[in-house]
């Protein structure tokens, strides 16, 4: 175990801390060792200390994209809690532990545009480039400049430009690896007070504009929050539809040569007039996971083991804890949905959240 006595002054170190208290699913067993780091230096120290002792390490941000096993984590969990952000011209530098939506709200209030369509997304700033977070036609990659990160193999802190991060649909070279720890993030944003061009049809309809139009950033933010609340995607401790990891499955991208048999199944199951949402993608076409789930027979509120978990009553992409669930309950329902879509349409759904100590 990493040496506790050498930790910087003010670092909180605890044993057997329940991780369910730190995830939006309210699921997850205890961490053998829990460290709360409130500055980038403390994050670096905690990670280096764990690595020096060859201690298994889990980095914990807002807990909005994690599914943690009921057994918990047999190692050190470092809670990223370094806060703060600053502006230099049009460049915004934010610490990894800054709350994402609080940052977006503050930037919109300051007259910045570009991130407003990413309003209401739970989690911390440091996770956004890892996942290349996106919503309503906008991705973090559109405004990301660089990240400061700790390279664990070398122990060095360095700045990496966005162009070197391998950013793609809900992914980057940082995803699925524990080689690097994001410490802070930089964005380049416009300061005209206008939102990025509205690209998403549902958002354009709500705003009463055509695709490609621009509106004031505060107006776009409020519209996005309205849409997300209607889908149970804005955190509310009293609403079990928000006890989730957000969208549990990513929209599948089907290569062009595999698409015809999928479309044949769509027509056979949903009828010749079925209108499944589809979008062009570099590798083929991106299909709507929510549409596939619903038409495979899993409607809103579809219940899992003992009624302890269900699909959200507002949105079929969210797998939710109804209050007394276990992680295994959640995974059982997710497997049922994944397998059902595969059987119906021949499309494999892949989970979006990180699975810790468990598999789907």
Q: Is 170 a catalytic residue?
A: yes
d(CA 131, CA 133) in angstroms, rounded, equals 5
Say how far apart CA 99 and CA 105 lie, in whole Å.
Answer: 10
Rounded to the nearest angstrom, the gap between the alpha carbon of residue 254 and the centroid of all alpha carbons in its chain is 22
Instruction: Write the DSSP assignment of 239-270 as a string of letters.
Output: -GGGSS-S-SBPPPEEEGGGHHHHHHHHHHHH
d(CA 339, CA 332): 11
Q: Is 314 exposed, middle or buried (0-12, 13-18, 19+ CB in 10 A)?
A: middle
d(CA 106, CA 197): 20
Active site residue 258: no
**Of 39, 141, 247, 312, which one is the catalytic site residue?**
247
Question: Distance of CA 229 to CAs 128, 217, 235, 246, 310, Å?
Answer: 20, 18, 8, 12, 18
Active site residue 76: no
Beta bridge partners of 253: 286
Q: Which of 170, 191, 265, 308 is catalytic?
A: 170
Whether the CB-CB separation of 67 and 25 falls below 8 Å is answered with yes
| Phi, psi dihedral angles at 213 (to 5 degrees) | -75, 160
- d(Cα 187, Cα 145) in Å, to the nearest integer? 5
Positions annotated as catalytic residues are 170, 247, 352
């Amino acid at each position: 175990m990493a040496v506790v006595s050498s930790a910087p002054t003010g670092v909180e170190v605890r044993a057997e801390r329940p991780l369910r208290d730190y995830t939006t699913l309210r699921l997850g067993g205890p961490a053998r060792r829990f460290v709360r780091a409130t500055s980038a230096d403390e994050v670096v120290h905690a990670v280096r200390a764990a690595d020096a002792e060859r201690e298994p390490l889990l980095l914990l941000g807002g807990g909005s994209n994690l599914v943690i096993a009921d057994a918990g984590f047999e190692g050190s969990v470092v809670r990223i809690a370094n806060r703060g952000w600053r502006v230099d011209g049009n460049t915004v530098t934010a610490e990894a532990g800054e709350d994402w939506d609080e940052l977006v709200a503050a930037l919109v209030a300051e007259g910045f545009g570009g991130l407003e369509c990413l309003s209401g997304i739970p989690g911390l700033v440091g996770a956004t480039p890892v996942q290349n977070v996106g919503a309503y036609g906008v991705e973090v990659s559109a405004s990301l400049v660089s990240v400061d990160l700790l390279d664990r193999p070398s122990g060095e802190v360095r700045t990496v430009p966005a162009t070197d991060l391998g950013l793609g649909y809900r992914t980057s070279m940082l995803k699925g690896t524990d080689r690097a720890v994001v410490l802070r993030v930089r964005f380049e944003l416009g300061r005209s007070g206008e939102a990025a061009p509205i690209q998403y049809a549902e958002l354009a309809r709500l705003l009463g504009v055509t695709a490609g139009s621009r509106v004031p950033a505060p107006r776009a933010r409020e519209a996005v929050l309205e849409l997300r609340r209607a889908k149970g995607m804005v955190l509310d401790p009293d609403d079990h539809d928000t006890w989730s990891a957000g969208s549990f499955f990513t929209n599948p991208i089907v290569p062009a040569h595999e698409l015809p048999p999928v479309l044949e199944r769509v027509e056979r199951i949903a009828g010749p007039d079925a209108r499944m949402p589809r979008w062009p993608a570099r590798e083929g076409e991106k299909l709507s996971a929510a549409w596939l789930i619903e038409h495979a027979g899993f409607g809103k509120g579809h219940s899992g083991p003992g009624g302890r978990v269900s699909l959200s009553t507002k949105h079929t992409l969210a797998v939710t804890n109804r209050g007394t669930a276990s992680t295994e309950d959640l995974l059982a329902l997710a497997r049922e949905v994944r397998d059902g879509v595969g059987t119906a349409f021949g499309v494999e759904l892949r989970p979006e959240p990180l699975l810790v100590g468990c598999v789907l």
